């Protein structure tokens, strides 16, 4: 029994004492089909898969609960995925973002879950909402996700410095799951941290001098990015992409886009561009993809860093940055 197995059994036994009576905990070495050489990690959506793979390297086997090309908000879990959650050695998730994942963890895996929302306080859903002097906040009230997430904005991965902080903490947590490889996790996290800081520098430089700073986005996913790089986000829908905007909201966004002379209305890879196209048609703007990196398209050869760099080029073009 190696350290990892020992600590896992210890964790399991602790739970078992409270729930099952403890007898079965030592009889297995992990779930059927699990690789005893590697830590079985379940990631709740793509950016968490990305950091888990970068930090874990060949010492982990990472499963993403969201299929390629699917959109992770309000993910439903099938029974075999609930099984994956309950058998994983570590689940990396963001509490409040995917209620089905929260529930599966609550029932089966609280002792093996790492909630990335606990690393740094999340932004309030309404923080930095685009407003003009003398206007109420009524226009920014959106139905849907806010209650589930306690009024917090989950999209923290779109600020690379926040993702770097999360990655450092994840390396520490992985080191507790597999202490023999803790030093490897730490050094890989350091390399990832450097990559993310480099990306942050490119954004800061690339968005310093621009003709416009307002971005009209499909759903309100870019609050952390806007805050970090001094942009103003006008989200067509709220924090969750599956809520249809009201005709009133559409009219407001069209007015905003005109007022700020937006040349581009952004849409997303995993969500229909129809609404963005309607608005663009009304104001004589183009559409372009600004990817919230909630998942990769099916068959995509990109990763978090390359999509972020594509987003930066898209923003520079749309905002007229020099």
Binding mask 49-88 for Zn ion (x = CB under 5 A): ----------------------------------------
Q: Which of 146, 184, 200, 256 binds Zn ion (CB under 5 A)?
A: 256
Cα dihedral 310, 311, 315, 321 sign:
negative
Q: Could you tell me the smallest distance in angstroms from the CB atom of residue 281 to Zn ion? A: 20
Beta carbon nearer to Zn ion, 175 or 241 = 241
Stretch that binds Zn ion, among 6-14, 76-84, 156-164, 214-222 (CB under 5 A): 214-222
Asked if 221 interacts with Zn ion (CB under 5 A), we say yes
Stretch that binds Zn ion, among 35-43, 82-90, 112-120, 248-256 (CB under 5 A): 248-256
The tokens describing 162, both together, are 């926040």
| CA distance linking residue 248 with residue 301, whole number of Å | 39
Beta carbon nearer to Zn ion, 60 or 129 = 129
| CA distance linking residue 212 with residue 210, whole number of Å | 5
Asked if 268 interacts with Zn ion (CB under 5 A), we say no
Q: What are the distances in angstroms from CA 219 to CA 54, 108, 199?
A: 28, 32, 23
- Residue 92 has phi, psi (to 5 degrees) of -105, 120
| CA distance linking residue 158 with residue 164, whole number of Å | 11
Stretch that binds Zn ion, among 5-13, 133-141, 158-166, 221-229 (CB under 5 A): 221-229
Q: Could you tell me the smallest distance in angstroms from the CB atom of residue 175 to Zn ion? A: 30
DSSP letter assigned to residue 287 = E
What do you get for the CA distance between the two ends of the chain, in Å? 59
The contact set with Zn ion (CB under 5 A) reads 221, 256
């Amino acid at each position: 029994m190696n350290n990892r197995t020992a600590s896992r059994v210890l964790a399991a036994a602790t739970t078992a004492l409270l729930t099952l009576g403890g007898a079965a905990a030592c009889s297995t070495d992990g779930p059927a089909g699990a690789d005893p050489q590697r830590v079985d990690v379940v990631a709740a959506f793509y950016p968490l898969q990305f950091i888990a793979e970068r930090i874990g390297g060949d010492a982990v086997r990472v499963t993403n609960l969201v299929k390629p090309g699917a959109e992770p908000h309000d993910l439903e879990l099938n029974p075999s995925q609930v099984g994956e959650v309950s058998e994983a050695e570590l689940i990396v998730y963001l509490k409040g973002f995917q209620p089905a994942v929260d529930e599966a963890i609550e029932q089966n895996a609280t002792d093996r879950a790492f909630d990335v929302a606990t690393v740094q306080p999340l932004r309030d859903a309404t923080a930095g909402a685009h407003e003009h002097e003398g206007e109420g906040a009524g226009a920014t009230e959106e139905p849907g996700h806010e209650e589930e997430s306690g009024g917090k904005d989950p999209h923290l991965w779109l600020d690379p410095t926040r993702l770097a902080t999360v990655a450092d903490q994840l390396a520490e947590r992985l080191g507790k799951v597999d202490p023999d490889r803790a030093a490897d996790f730490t050094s890989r996290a350091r390399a990832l941290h450097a990559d993310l800081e480099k990306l942050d520098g490119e954004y800061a430089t690339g968005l310093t001098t621009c003709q416009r700073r307002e971005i009209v986005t499909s759903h309100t996913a870019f609050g952390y990015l806007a805050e970090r790089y001094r942009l103003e986000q006008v989200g067509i829908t709220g924090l969750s992409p599956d809520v249809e905007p009201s005709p009133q909201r559409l009219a407001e966004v069209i007015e905003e886009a005109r007022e700020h002379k937006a040349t581009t209305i952004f849409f997303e890879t995993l969500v229909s561009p129809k609404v963005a196209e309607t608005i663009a048609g009304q104001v004589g703007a183009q559409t372009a993809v600004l990817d919230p990196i909630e998942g990769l398209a099916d068959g995509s050869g990109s990763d978090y860093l390359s999509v972020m760099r594509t987003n930066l080029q898209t923003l520079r073009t749309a905002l007229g940055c020099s």
